[in-house]
Amino acid sequence: MKRLFLLLPLVLVSLPASAGPLEDAKRQGLAGERADGFLGTPPGAASSGSLIQEINTKRRQAYGEIASRNGTSAEAVGVLTGQRLIEQSPAGTWIMDTNGVWQRK
């Protein structure tokens, strides 16, 4: 698990490929970080479906690759990454907690 935690910066570095549009969507309240390491659409927001789907596909692939190299599950990688992404999110960003409840950070 310690080794996996050390690899999280690699995941986080690989995620910002779509940072511009993603950060815009987050600022507008159209996308938010979930505790499982994926993006979601906050309540009452117009869908940013294609952007969210594209980024989640890339994240799923990255989580799977890291998990297979480290003998853990993609879900575990996602949860650790989700925690880090939520911690790094600025105030006002929509986040979904581990109970599936959306709230502003």
Tell me how many domains the chain contains: 1
Q: Which residues contact 57 (CB under 8 A, 6 or more apart)?
A: none
Provide the whole-model pTM.
Answer: 0.81
Q: What are phi and psi of 72, to 5 degrees?
A: -130, -175
Nearest to 89 by CA among 29, 10, 49, 5: 29
Domain that holds residue 69: 2-93
CA angle 5, 38, 78 (to 5 degrees): 25
Would 79 be classed as within a structural domain?
A: yes
CA–CA separation, 92 and 90 (whole Å): 6
Q: Is residue 76 part of a domain?
A: yes
Tell me if 104 is assigned to some domain.
Answer: no
- Look at residue 58 and tell me if it is in a domain: yes
pLDDT 10s per residue in the chain (105 long)?
Answer: 555 555 555 555 445 545 688 999 999 999 999 999 999 999 988 877 799 999 999 999 999 999 999 999 999 999 999 999 999 999 999 999 999 999 999
Provide the phi-psi class of 22: left if phi over 0, else alpha when psi is between -120 and 50, else beta. alpha
